Structure 1
């Protein structure tokens, strides 16, 4: 055991040793952690970032957005746009009074519309509109027009949104009364469908029903003649006699019209196709709809 003087000398020596270590290069006190430089927020970066992800249905493309703004039955919630997109949109329609408008950039718009019914590379054309879905309709809302041709399109389990959108566009061009689909086997309203329709989603009423066959019976009782489009149809579209009220029924690509739906058509007709040696024996359903609508409306106008 050390004597008191020895213990004191030992303590002094240890203190001196610690003191000398502190003065050794590289052994000084830890420097303060460097703070990452704060990102400067500018007016432009704040304007280019949407304040939050829109929770509602998002429509995009200048024609789809303009048609939605012009539709009195469509409720618009907020518009997201680039400056150029807003200029292009206001050349097509005036903005409703009180509609919130958020100026952003193209990348933010692409990010905004990405999701289950759209993809990040969807062509927004610089405008995205948050809306509520349109109200529903009934087939009974569309009786034949007096002294005027009436055409209704019925889709039997056509589920691709691009095809349904394109068919809506053709329906608008050829003056169809409405589009009818089965509720469970049709795409929902979406930005992709609205973009494919190029505004027709807000022009042509879209009726969703539970049972296509029962709806065809209702239309027959209202005075409509029901024509199903099928490759094995007994007549070509340009050769049939048409009345003033017509229902055009189209099936899904591949399987076509279901047997029960066929039974509820008054006749089956086909589009005449050029011989291709069996390589091409059908059209895409949206192309077939456009050709059929042209042939039928031309035939009806000549009678």
Structure 2
């Protein structure tokens, strides 16, 4: 977008912005995203419905591609954008309010492709961790991530920033019953490996040649007993004894790398 076009796209003037500070939920059920990568990815996502973009002049200049002429954009100063996002959030001069993504279903993405593992998260509720896992899932070509709807963070700016655009590209399947979803994966031909520090088997030895679902539990508590029972095998990462465990997002990244290079 040329500088002149970007300037003409700006609406309004600098001033107090409407909307309170928070983790990324906008008005009336909308999602609020911030930062160049999350906002740019959302703008490019044809499945995302947008409401409004608040931006600094410098922020608009960083966007790759043109906005439609009638796109609702409001010019603002950085300090004003700070009132729209979580405290001290690095908005980089861009805040986008949009609709949540549509619901997606497991059988639409779990196609049994050995090169595209499925990531299943059991009660991982920290948006930073889920966002980082989405980013790793995008990097290593995962088919989707699966969470239980009641025990996972909502879409929002904190998660979107951690995902660095992957929220728009990796399908996120939310289910009512995680154990039932694991049964569906088994029926689709997936070998379900639960990551557990107490396991005897190293992940590289547990990985099959065919489709795989990697199951990770929350930090500290790990997988629930019922979820572990719905796995075909339990495995661990070969980490040093000087540290007890890894952050769940780090464990997910290493596990996806292992699946990609088997």
- In the superposition, the TM-score normalised over structure 1's length comes to 0.77
- In structure 1, the residue matched to 2:256 is 293
CA contact 1:69–1:96 (8 Å) conserved in 2:
no
**Shift in Å at residue 239 of structure 1?**
2.1
1-side partners of 2:166 and 2:17: how far apart? 30
1:137-156 maps to which residues of 2 (within 5 A)?
137-145=104-112, 149-156=115-122
- In structure 2, the residue matched to 1:129 is 96
1:59-70 maps to which residues of 2 (within 5 A)?
59-70=33-44
- CA deviations 1:236-286 (Å, max 9, x no partner) are 11223413311000000000000000000000010001231xxx2100000
1:240-259 maps to which residues of 2 (within 5 A)?
240-259=206-225
2-side partners of 1:158 and 1:258: how far apart? 11
CA contact 2:193–2:206 (8 Å) conserved in 1:
no
**Shift in Å at residue 297 of structure 1?**
1.2
- In structure 1, the residue matched to 2:8 is none
- CA deviations 1:66-99 (Å, max 9, x no partner) are 110111110111110000011012xx23324421
Cα pair distance change 1:235/1:138, threshold 3 Å: same
Aligned partner (choices 47, 51, 74) of residue 48 of structure 2: 74
Q: Name which of structure 1's ranges 137-146 and 284-293 shifts more when overlaid on structure 2.
A: 137-146
Rg comparison, structure with higher value: 1
DSSP 3-state at the match of 1:261: helix
**Shift in Å at residue 51 of structure 1?**
5.8
Q: Is 1:106 the counterpart of 2:78 in the alignment? A: yes
- In structure 2, the residue matched to 1:11 is none
1:1-303 maps to which residues of 2 (within 5 A)?
47-49=13-15, 52-53=18-19, 55=27, 56-89=30-63, 92-113=64-85, 119-145=86-112, 149-276=115-242, 280-299=243-262
Consecutive unaligned residues in structure 1, runs of 5 or more: 1-45, 114-118
CA contact 2:110–2:143 (8 Å) conserved in 1:
no
DSSP 3-state at the match of 1:144: coil
How many equivalent residue pairs? 243
CA contact 1:157–1:185 (8 Å) conserved in 2:
yes
CA contact 1:144–1:223 (8 Å) conserved in 2:
no
**Shift in Å at residue 52 of structure 1?**
3.3
- CA deviations 1:158-178 (Å, max 9, x no partner) are 000000000000000000011
Q: How big is the alpha-carbon RMSD for the aligned residues of Structure 1 and Structure 2?
A: 1.4
Consecutive unaligned residues in structure 2, runs of 5 or more: 1-11, 20-25
2-side partners of 1:79 and 1:227: how far apart? 42
DSSP 3-state at the match of 2:256: helix
CA contact 2:197–2:235 (8 Å) conserved in 1:
yes
